[in-house]
Structure 1
Amino acid sequence: MESTRISLPKLIYFEINNFSLYDVSEHKITIDFMKPAACIIGANGLGKSTMLNCINYALTGMINQPGRKVRSIFEYYRQNKYYNEYFEGRIQEKDRDIANIKIVFSIKDCKITVVRGFYPDNSVIHFECSNDKYDRYEDAVVSLMGLKNFDQFAFLQVKVLTFDEERECLFWDPNLLTSTLYLTMNLSPEIAEKADIIQSNVQKSNSRIRNLQFEINKLNKRIETLTSELIEKPQSDTNQELSDTELKEKHEMLIEGLEKAENDYSLARSEYDFLISVISELTAKQHLVKSEYDNLYKTLFNSNSAVDLRNSPIISELLHGNCIVCDTKGTDIWKASEEKILMNKCPLCESEILHDNHNHDEIMLRLEEVDNNLQQINAALEEHILKSARLRGLMESSSNYIEKTKLEVMKIEQSSTYMIINDGEDSGDIRIRERIESLRRAALEVEIDKNDQIVLRDNLMDEASDLHKLLTNSYNDARKHFLPKFRTLARAFTGLNVDIILNEVIVDAKKMLAFSLSMEESGRKYDHQLSESQRFFLDIALRMAIVDYIADNNYEGCMLIDTPEGSLDIAYEANAGEMFAEFINRQHQLIITANLNSSGLVKTFANKSGSARFNLINIIKWANLSTVQSERMPLFTEALKDIEAAMKSGEDNR
């Protein structure tokens, strides 16, 4: 299949009518998105996040559902009806029939207008397109973007082009990341759709296999119990037995824990191996630097120059009036020594001091540099050795947990402790044998079904593996253009050289790609090793790099960011603003939310953009303010003036 580069939408105009959450006399809110940067700003709880969600609802007809996992793009879009629940309370009963939302945007050079209602459903009630070949909104979007279906657009818009209040990190979610890379790393949308379907079917098939094996274990246990009744009939302690449902839940919980532990062990092993190689390199470097230090030190005190001679420990003592040979002390000693040095003679043997070309100051300076370098190497070695020791412990505990859990799983699968309920029937040998035979036939039928599912799953996994190779190759081809984009954005935020390392992980028989970070000399970084602000804004940098790679200077891309200011360190506020400015400098569009009480980021972004490119959208004028918020209006007004001044200053400096 021919590879392709998709196109992205750019927002132009937004309108929301009779939306009860916002208090406006005209019952209409309009926003012009013609400038590349827009900031929806206000106090907490006034509807900034809701505004971003409404934009996505207008575009896709869906709202991102909190806590909902994306098992496949198809299921994520088709089975998401969360918008019904989301708009309850935001739209009053009196406005349900008349509330609607309108958005105007462009894809390539084509202008699209779409209007949706909120009730009774999310259907499009009006559609216009500057290209009259399209009769349906969904067809226009899919065709112009170069996608296979509208599901793919909805996934990209809501999960990739938007960083919302749920704070889902694409960077550290292999499932989301793999689906994203299939759509964005220059593979055809047909391949992305096929991979999505196959991977979903792999997981479903694997789940069926587990359920069938569970059923087989249950039948076999019943057979064992009935067989033992032919010999003896022991009293069972039913109080110690679990119900079918409880045992199945325990089995599934153990399987999930086992998969997580194996993945944790694999990641820890990968990082440990990396650290060992770094420790080896640092140790070799340490030996070289130590050797240089020793040589410089010897040179310093073996020199015959008068200056270097003064640094000799013996001569230094003489010059301080102490003879370490005969233990005599006094001013005559240092005076006699000083006179001889001035006469270019050695104070001890009176030999003539030769003047070589050694520069004492240069040696001392180099010695100090080498000493600082050695201290840095020693500190890095200590850090890496401590970290490797911790990882060894983590791998050991993970390994022990894996072995223990495997035994528990095997115990459940081989001898399930299901209760055999006495139904009051005759338990004679003939009846028992009939029941055993019936159970064996049932177990055989389930075994056949399970084997069929294994063949199906393995075939699907082979297909998925072939597609995965295509994705890996496509990413490796793209990385020479994609990674520099990410590095520039990530450095703007962190101030560090950041790189991406590609890994493979397998969860529930599904093979996926995962990223880990390398941050200068810090070793690999996973989400639990980074601060919250680092994790969020590096994830935003990844999304921005993906948009920049897709656009590739042909068409602009647009991102929506519900800015995670609450997690942002004060020291990073300006850096985040710099990163946002860098994104729009690449000819893209960025719509963010921000709180007035945390405007360091916004002021930097506004100053770097200038008033000609920055649209400040004050949501306070549309909101129902609390008493406390109303009393703080002078503070809000002053904060807005500061941002507006930053915008003007930025424009004046352009």
Structure 2
Amino acid sequence: MGGQLKSSERELISLPHLRSIGLEGFGIYQKVNGNVKLKINRNAYCLAGANGLGKSTLLSSIIFGLCGYLRRQSSASVKSENRLADAKRYTAKYFPGRLKNESSSSSSIELLFTLGGFEYRIRRLFEKPFELEELVIRDLKSNSLIYESDGKENALKTKDYENFVSKHSNLGSFERFAFAIQYISSFDENHHLLFWDSEALEDALFTCIGLDSKLSDKAKTLRHRVAQLSSQERNTQFAIKQVVDLKKKALGQINSVEGVDIESAEELFDSLEEIQSDIEVLEANVSEEKALIAQQYHKALKLENNYREKFDQLASGFTHSHISRELQKSIERGSCFNCGSDTDESLDELKKKLESKGCPVCNAELSERTSNDLGLDEELKKIDEELQKKNDNVKKSEIRLSQSEKELTELRERKKDLEGKIKSDFPNGRPNFRTEEVKENLEEYNSQIATLHENKEKLVERRKACEKEYKNCFSLLEDKYFEIESSFLPLFKELAEQFLGIPININFNKKNAPSAKKSILSISLDGVSRGQGYHFSESQRFFIDIALKMSLLKFSTKPDESVTMLLDTPEGSLDIAYEEMVGEMFYNFVSSGKSLFFTANINSSEILKELAAKCTEENMQLERMLSWSDLSSVQKKAESKFDKAYQEIEDLLTGAAEL
């Protein structure tokens, strides 16, 4: 444990203190035509409303205004080296649905804030993330204008803004400034938990506990470099395994040809290839025969339908030719077409009727025209002949198909037997009987393996060198933490214990390697270690994390310098007792001279009441968001209750009522 370290004896940073916010063209705020102007004159500023009115969106807009991009939800699951690119993709999708369609190209946010003794006025267009439209900077000490962006290109304004912010925040780079805004001085709708994001927490400590800002970048770069080198090591080891497997296979081929009748072995493998080729040909033939049979069946069906139509047409006219044809078929079949009788007497009678010149039914004389009525008998005859031909073709195709399928089955059995013999005799596959060629391959494999091992050793050396350098950085962080622990830890304990109501402590954990996932800070409650996030309830995780961020802000900035924390209050997970404690916790933060811009739902929550009673109107502003947006039908029914809740808080602010 180090002694008490004064803030004047360590590196401090500066972060923005919001003074005003202006939004234009924000479609979700219909009642004010999408335009909002907020002047912030108190340390506590509450954006109070109801579900779906855009509280969280406004908070995200402020972060966007300061940084030019947003961190997406659950960014802890994204590798830290990929978070910036991931955030840029997320930002491009976040705002379009929230803007007014007719003015989306000009929708903007304007912020007025102070930073390290300077006043900034900036404006960004929501459709142009990462760019700055306007920038004005004044030196508050001399009240002089030091920068105005009129006439300058956006890219130049953006670069100038990033350079000034890097300098005035004492963070040394805009990336560190954006990190501090998004990971330390805000708790937004994403509910990112810094305490349980090991890499982000490490970066936050490097940023906030008084070390040279460049050390944070160095440690981060080394951490990423170790991860890259470790990945390359794994890839190289995998490549070594692949070449070793090829070498084993080649050795197996050489061993497998010793004492082998090469001619017989080649014949065995060639036979397998021939059988496989024959199988493929037969499979194609079988497929074609099946398709041909299907076509022939289809054509035969059409002929049968056509025959039936002609037959019905003749039957309706009772023509002689039709009856005669049926008589002829009956004689050929040996049974009557009508009753099925197959006696000799019946067949003789059918022959007499067929030979008769009269009608075979009533014996009436028939004209030549009737006996060839409509020519349908000839058509039926042709159809019948064609149908018979189709049926014959189908039978032939079915015979060919059966033969092919039989041959295919036999070939597959032969193939199976050959494969079994080959697997038994040559488990490593077909040997390369050109052993000289295989030996040349072996030499090449040995050379590749040696080269890969050499490359791996170099990667290991470089990784270990980076790890050693990283450990030096981490040792500086560890030493610094224990040096400032007696100053920092009481700030955290005061805030966290105010919420929890039980003793809490933080333990600093050594990291044996940059890739270690264990958080460098762990918590014990009432003397019992709770190392993982799931050891806490949701509300405990949220407000322990908020306490950590508040204590980092108080510790890392000048005591007399106000900085604004942006907070989307996670009040839904609290009971009444804890709501009062949160109000106490928030008051502790703002009464220390820091600022809190936070959102809250208007309900029976004790958070706002507790804070309003303690802050009074001298230290707290309440913005009624219900006048900005249209309420849902459910919310309209409860509008009088909203008004009553607002009034209760207003009365506590003005002193007209007491808790």
TM range (shorter): 0.5 to 0.7
1:212 paired with 2:220, answer no
- With over 3 angstroms needed to count, the CA separation of the structure-2 counterparts of 1:227 and 1:547, relative to structure 1, is same
Q: Output the amino acid matched with 1:85.
A: K
Q: Output the amino acid matched with 1:191.
A: L
Counterparts of 1:88-103 in structure 2, within 5 Å, are 88-103=96-111
Q: Which residue of 2 aligns with 1:87?
A: 95
Q: Shift in Å at residue 645 of structure 1?
A: 2.1
Q: Which one of 45, 58, 66 corresponds to residue 51 of structure 1? A: 58
Q: Which residue of 2 aligns with 1:174?
A: 198
1:549 paired with 2:538, answer no
Q: Output the amino acid matched with 1:576.
A: V
1:127 paired with 2:139, answer no
Q: Shift in Å at residue 508 of structure 1?
A: 6.2
Q: Output the amino acid matched with 2:93.
A: E
Q: Which residue of 1 aligns with 2:367?
A: none
1:610 paired with 2:616, answer yes
Q: Which one of 113, 127, 132 corresponds to residue 121 of structure 2? A: 113
Q: Which residue of 2 aligns with 1:496?
A: 502
Q: Output the amino acid matched with 2:20.
A: Y
Q: Shift in Å at residue 147 of structure 1?
A: 1.3
What SS does the corresponding residue of 1:504 show, helix, strand or coil?
A: coil
Q: Which one of 15, 28, 31 corresponds to residue 8 of structure 1? A: 15
> Which structure has the larger Rg over C-alpha atoms?
2
Q: Shift in Å at residue 653 of structure 1?
A: 7.6
Q: Which one of 64, 67, 81 corresponds to residue 60 of structure 1? A: 67
1:485 paired with 2:509, answer no
- Whole-angstrom CA distance in 2 between matches of 1:427 and 1:560: 75
What SS does the corresponding residue of 2:51 show, helix, strand or coil?
A: coil
Structure 1: gaps spanning 5 or more residues: 235-419
Q: Shift in Å at residue 426 of structure 1?
A: 6.1
Q: Which residue of 1 aligns with 2:452?
A: 446
- Whole-angstrom CA distance in 1 between matches of 2:650 and 2:445: 78
Counterparts of 1:593-604 in structure 2, within 5 Å, are 593-604=599-610
Q: Which residue of 2 aligns with 1:152?
A: 176
> Deviation string for 1:71-98 (max 9, x for gaps)?
7877533663121011131224422211
Q: Shift in Å at residue 168 of structure 1?
A: 1.9
CA contact 2:49–2:600 (8 Å) conserved in 1? yes
Structure 2: gaps spanning 5 or more residues: 1-8, 140-144, 149-159, 258-264, 266-426
CA contact 2:236–2:452 (8 Å) conserved in 1? yes
What SS does the corresponding residue of 1:124 show, helix, strand or coil?
A: coil
- With over 3 angstroms needed to count, the CA separation of the structure-2 counterparts of 1:512 and 1:114, relative to structure 1, is farther
- Whole-angstrom CA distance in 1 between matches of 2:445 and 2:46: 67
Q: Shift in Å at residue 66 of structure 1?
A: 1.7
CA contact 1:41–1:616 (8 Å) conserved in 2? yes
What SS does the corresponding residue of 1:64 show, helix, strand or coil?
A: coil
- Whole-angstrom CA distance in 1 between matches of 2:101 and 2:435: 69
TM-score calculated relative to the size of structure 1: 0.67
> Deviation string for 1:457-510 (max 9, x for gaps)?
111111111111111111111111111111111121111121111112456635
Q: Which one of 80, 83, 87 corresponds to residue 76 of structure 1? A: 83
Counterparts of 1:554-565 in structure 2, within 5 Å, are 554-565=560-571
Q: Which residue of 1 aligns with 2:534?
A: 528
Q: Shift in Å at residue 31 of structure 1?
A: 1.2
Q: Which one of 189, 192, 203 corresponds to residue 213 of structure 2? A: 189
1:645 paired with 2:630, answer no
Q: Which one of 582, 589, 592 corresponds to residue 586 of structure 1? A: 592
The count of aligned residue pairs is: 466
TM-score calculated relative to the size of structure 2: 0.66
- Whole-angstrom CA distance in 2 between matches of 1:532 and 1:456: 42
Q: Shift in Å at residue 4 of structure 1?
A: 1.8
Q: Shift in Å at residue 144 of structure 1?
A: 0.8
Counterparts of 1:99-498 in structure 2, within 5 Å, are 99-131=107-139, 132-133=145-146, 136-232=160-256, 428-498=434-504
- Whole-angstrom CA distance in 2 between matches of 1:529 and 1:511: 17
- With over 3 angstroms needed to count, the CA separation of the structure-2 counterparts of 1:138 and 1:78, relative to structure 1, is farther
Q: Shift in Å at residue 434 of structure 1?
A: 3.6
Q: Shift in Å at residue 133 of structure 1?
A: 4.4
> Deviation string for 1:496-535 (max 9, x for gaps)?
1211111124566358762122222444454222211111
What SS does the corresponding residue of 1:230 show, helix, strand or coil?
A: helix
What SS does the corresponding residue of 1:561 show, helix, strand or coil?
A: strand
- With over 3 angstroms needed to count, the CA separation of the structure-2 counterparts of 1:91 and 1:440, relative to structure 1, is farther
Q: Output the amino acid matched with 2:39.
A: D
CA contact 1:116–1:126 (8 Å) conserved in 2? yes
CA contact 1:19–1:99 (8 Å) conserved in 2? yes
Q: Output the amino acid matched with 1:575.
A: M
Q: Which residue of 2 aligns with 1:35?
A: 42
What SS does the corresponding residue of 2:248 show, helix, strand or coil?
A: helix
CA contact 2:198–2:517 (8 Å) conserved in 1? no
Identity score, percent = 29
What SS does the corresponding residue of 1:518 show, helix, strand or coil?
A: strand
- With over 3 angstroms needed to count, the CA separation of the structure-2 counterparts of 1:482 and 1:425, relative to structure 1, is same
What SS does the corresponding residue of 1:80 show, helix, strand or coil?
A: helix
- Whole-angstrom CA distance in 2 between matches of 1:485 and 1:101: 34
